[in-house]
Structures are given as C-alpha cells and as structure tokens.
Amino acid sequence: MTVQNRKVLIIYASQYGSTGGIADAIKKELGENGTIVETKAIKEVTDLDRYDAVIIGSPIQYDRWIPETREFIATHQEILKKLPVAFFFSCMALSLRSKKSRRQGQIYSDYLLNAFPEVKPLAIGQFAGALDLTRMSIFLRMAFRFIMVITGAKEGDHRDWNAIRTWARDADQRLSFAKGRF
Ligand SMILES: Cc1cc2nc3c(=O)[nH]c(=O)nc-3n(C[C@H](O)[C@H](O)[C@H](O)COP(=O)(O)O)c2cc1C
C-alpha cells in the first residue's frame, strides 16, 4: 500500500549521464505508483523541507561515492537524519555479476553507511552502470583499458532496467511506510 500525495525528491549526481538515467527510471516507476516525484541534479538542490522522502543517487569513482554526493550528504545531514531516505549508486564493478563484484558493491554501500552513521537509509540500490571510453580524455581512456584487462569489465551500458524498476518499487514501499515515523 502506498501513502498517496507523498512528495519524493530524487537527487542525482552524474558525470556522464548514466546515473541520471537511472534516476529518471526510478521517477517513472514511482510516478506510476501514484507518488508525486521530482528529480533534480545535486547541484540544483537547495532545500529538502518540502519533501516527505528523499532518494539520492551517485556514481562510484575511484572506489568512492563521488565528492559532490558526499559533500551534499554532509551539508544536509541534519535533515537527512529525520527524513525517510534511500540511496542508490552505479558502478562498473557490478557489471561483472560475480561473487567478488557483489562484495565490492557491499563495500561501496558500507562506505557510505560508515561515513554518515547517523543517516539511516531504508534502502540502498546497487546498480551496474555504463561506461563510454570515447567520451573520456586519452589519459583516462588508457587507464580504463588497463583496468578492464585486469578486472574483466567491459565498456558499454550495463544498466539492468528490470532490477532498477524492482528496486524502485521496493524502496517506494519502504519510504511510504516510514512516513510519519521520523
Ligand atoms: C573516473 C572514473 C572512475 C571510476 N571508478 C570506478 C570504481 O572505482 N569502481 C567502479 O565499480 N566503477 C568505477 N567507475 C565506473 C562508474 O562508476 C560508472 O561508469 C558509472 O555508471 C558512471 O556514472 P555516470 O555516467 O552517471 O557518471 C569509474 C568511472 C570513472 C569515469
């Protein structure tokens, strides 16, 4: 059961657009469920007061949630402690779909939980992302070609839209049940 007329804000950071695409898919799924949803790039967000719940998404870079996401959470920590909140991230490690890559996904989740122990997300979506080497500088492209040989990861769009939609429905349920509890 979903509490109607809830306003949910989906905030995303995205250097190359794929995490933004995931945010759009989550928005669509929640909208179909009757939730009022807005998506905003993290740089556009100034206040969180008008929302019943918040979902924050970020790419992983260099084994970390990117700095602008971490800075955003640090800045808005006080209100995020009181709001029902969910996180999601996209990364290439999860494109490998192995036991090792799932462990890596858990490390990325734990990193955020440890960095902000007082913010208690009701769900953390772990998604394979997308990587397009042609959009990178020559230096980064060479570095990634090397990393891919080592890890076995492949360039391309690995986003699993079914998994994203399933997570969105589950996260929406958790956020709606939490309304009024915080
Ligand atoms: C500079 C850079 C560093 C990255 N570091 C990691 C990493 O440490 N682990 C990982 O699994 N993926 C890593 N990735 C892959 C991204 O997390 C993935 O491609 C993501 O979907 C990109 O999101 P975006 O298109 O929204 O920027 C990295 C990508 C870039 C460009």
Ligand 1 mean position to 122 CA, how many Å?
24
What is the token pair recorded at 82?
């009181």
Boundaries of every domain in the chain: 7-178
Ligand 1 mean position to 1 CA, how many Å?
35
Ligand 1 mean position to 33 CA, how many Å?
30
Residue 54 CB–ligand 1 contact under 6 Å? no
The second-level CATH assignment, the architecture, of 7-178 is 3-Layer(aba) Sandwich (3.40)
* Residue-wise pLDDT tens digits, 156-181: 999 999 999 999 999 999 999 886 55
Residue 91 CB–ligand 1 contact under 6 Å? yes
* Residue-wise pLDDT tens digits, 103-114: 999 999 999 999
- For residue 147, give the 3-state DSSP assignment: helix
* Residue-wise pLDDT tens digits, 95-104: 998 999 999 9
Average pLDDT on 25-45 reads 95
Sign of CA dihedral 43, 47, 48, 50: negative
Q: Which of 92, 134, 161 to mutate to test the pocket of ligand 1 (most atoms within 8 A of CB)?
A: 92
Residue 116 CB–ligand 1 contact under 6 Å? no
